[in-house]
Amino acid sequence: LTWSEPGAWQAGVVYTHLARLVDLDGLPQDLKGDIYDGAVGFSPLPWLLLYGQAGASQARLEGSMREDTANGGGGLAGVRINLWQLFEGEQKTAWRLLLQVAGQYAYRTTSDDGEGELQWSETLAMLPLTYHLSFARTFRNYYMSEFQSLAVYAGPAVSLLDGTWTRNGVERDFEQADEFGLVGGVDFWLLESLGFGLRADWFEDATSMQAMVRYRF
C-alpha cells in the first residue's frame, strides 16, 4: 500500500457528550446531551484551518425536561491559527511545540416530544499549547514506526453559552454559569492522513467529552 501526501482538505465524524452547568431563572441546572456531527476542514495556508460541523443533537435540562428527548439539528463553524511554533525541521528533530488560538460558533436545537423545545448557541475560544511528537523519523526512532505521530495539547478556554427553553408558549432563558475553563486532549495519527482524537472541556463542575475520527486528503 502507498499513501499520497495529505492535502488541504480533511473530513471526519465527531461525537460530543455535552455537559455544562447553566443558570436558569437564578437556579443552577445541568445541560447534558449527545451530539453527532459530520465535519469538514480546509487549510488554505499551513498555519490556518477553517472547519465546520453539522449533525443531530439530543439534550435536556436535567430535572426539568424528560430524558427521552427527540433529535434536533445544528452545527458549528470555526477557525484555528498557529500563532507560534518551535520546530528545527524534520532532519533535526522529531518533535514540535505549537501555540494555537481557535474559535468557533455553534447553534443547536432539540425537543422533548411535546414538553418543550430547547435552543442554544455557544461561542468558544481556546488557546491550546500543543506538543507534537512524530514517530516517522526512521533515523531517530525506527523501532516505533508502526504509527505516524502523537499530539498532546492543553490550555485555557472561554465559553459564552446561552439558550432558551420554550414550553407551552412560555420562554425561559438560561446561560452558562462559569465562562472560564480548560481544554485538553490528544490526537493519535495512525497514518499521516488518518487520525483519531479525544478532547475534554472543563467548566466548573461539568466536563464535556469529544471523540473524533478524521481523514486528510
Calpha distance 200→113 (Å, rounded) = 30
Q: What is the pLDDT of residues 128-137, one digit of tens each?
A: 999 999 886 5
Residue-by-residue DSSP string for 116-169: -EEEEEEEEEE--EEEEEES--HHHHGGGTTS-EEEEEEEEEEEEEEEEEEETT
What one-letter code names the amino acid at 191?
L
Query: Which residue type sits at 147?
Result: F
For 65, how many CA atoms within 13 A lie in the half-sphere containing its CB? 30
User: What is the rounded radius of gyration, in angstroms, for the C-alpha atoms of the chain?
Assistant: 20
Q: Find out whether 151 and 135 touch, Cβ atoms under 8 Å.
A: no
Asked if 185 and 199 touch (Cβ cutoff 8 Å), the reply is yes
Would you say 74 and 106 are in contact if contact means Cβ atoms under 8 Å apart? yes
Q: What is the pTM of this model?
A: 0.89
For residue 198, pLDDT beyond 50: yes
How many residues would you count in the chain? 217
How much is the pLDDT for 2?
A: 41
Strands (E) across the chain are located at 9-24, 27-45, 48-61, 72-86, 95-111, 117-126, 129-134, 149-167, 170-176, 180-189, 194-203, 206-216
Q: For residue range 115-165, what is the model confidence (pLDDT) as tens digits?
A: 688 999 999 999 999 999 988 655 544 554 567 889 999 999 999 999 999
> Which pLDDT does position 4 carry in this prediction?
47
Residue 37 or residue 138, greater confidence: 37
Closest CA to 60 of 101, 127, 115, 141: 115
Angstrom CA distances, 181 to 34, 93, 205, stand at 20, 33, 10
Question: What's the pLDDT score for residue 94?
Answer: 81
Q: Is the pLDDT of residue 3 over 50?
A: no
Which whole number is the average pLDDT over 59-78? 84
* Residue in the structure block whose three cell numbers are 451530539: 35
- Distance (Å) of CA 79 to CA 102, 152, 169: 6, 19, 37
Q: Summarize the confidence of residues 86-104 as an average pLDDT.
A: 84
pLDDT for residue 115: 66
